[in-house]
């Protein structure tokens, strides 16, 4: 295979992504907090609780790992995932990859992920078509769904950083968020003062 063609191939992240670790059994209508280890050396920015990681000296418009704060899932997880995939893909058609993979995680969690090289029509007549590498990774745990999007300008950056992204996804963890008890709920009742022992009368 010519080298020029090899460089245009999108290497899809294999089905070796470790399922996220859930700490504590999920409960109905119980939100979860997402924790992760940031990619070493990557730049970090945050806006409205959405965190974006980018490789050094690469603008987010060319390569971005986007971590969302999560949302409540109202309905079917698979249907939600299909809708989200169509939203990030927009009108671009899949030219390579695109298989959707699911697996069961610990404590009743579910994982869905999909990666593809997509191609959008040229913005102007006679212009070049735009190719984008996409990876959507989502976890449903309890009544919450968290999703991560890896998006690159073309396949080269996708291939270059896919190992780092793979390691990031494998390190995701979820911890149940429990509302703090009201003030004084866990306080022990005040002990009654102890009276001195009564002296026996002789």
pLDDT per residue as tens digits for the range 66-75: 999 888 998 8
pLDDT digits (tens, 9 = 90+) for 129-141: 899 999 999 999 8
- Residue extents of the structural domains in the chain: 3-11+18-176
Whether residue 67 contacts residue 48, with contact meaning beta carbons closer than 8 Å, is answered with: no
Q: Is the pLDDT at 24 greater than 80, yes or no?
A: no
Whether residue 70 contacts residue 76, with contact meaning beta carbons closer than 8 Å, is answered with: no
Q: Which CATH superfamily is domain 3-11+18-176 in?
A: Mog1/PsbP, alpha/beta/alpha sandwich (3.40.1000.10)
Judge if pTM exceeds 0.75.
no
Q: Distance between CA atoms of 22 and 31, rounded to whole angstroms? A: 12
Q: Distance between CA atoms of 35 and 51, rounded to whole angstroms? A: 12
Mean pLDDT of the chain: 78
């Amino acid at each position: 295979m010519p080298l020029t063609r090899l460089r245009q191939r999108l290497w899809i992240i294999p089905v070796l992504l470790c399922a996220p670790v859930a700490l504590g059994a999920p409960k109905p209508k119980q939100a979860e907090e997402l924790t992760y280890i940031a990619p070493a050396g990557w730049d970090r920015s945050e806006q409205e609780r959405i965190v974006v990681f980018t490789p050094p000296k690469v603008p987010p418009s060319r390569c971005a790992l986007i971590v969302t704060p999560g949302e409540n899932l109202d309905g079917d997880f698979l249907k939600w995932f299909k809708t989200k995939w169509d939203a990030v893909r927009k009108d671009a058609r899949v030219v390579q990859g695109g298989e959707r993979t699911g697996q069961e995680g610990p404590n009743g969690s579910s994982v869905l992920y999909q990666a593809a090289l997509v191609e959008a029509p040229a913005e102007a007549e006679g212009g070049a078509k735009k190719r984008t590498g996409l990876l959507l990774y989502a976890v449903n745990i309890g009544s919450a769904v968290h999703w991560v999007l890896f998006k690159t300008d073309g396949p080269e950056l996708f291939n270059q950083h896919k190992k780092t992204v793979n390691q990031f996804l494998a390190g995701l963890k979820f911890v149940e968020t429990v509302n703090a008890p009201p003030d004084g709920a866990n306080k022990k009742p005040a002990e009654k003062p102890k009276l001195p022992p009564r002296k026996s009368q002789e």
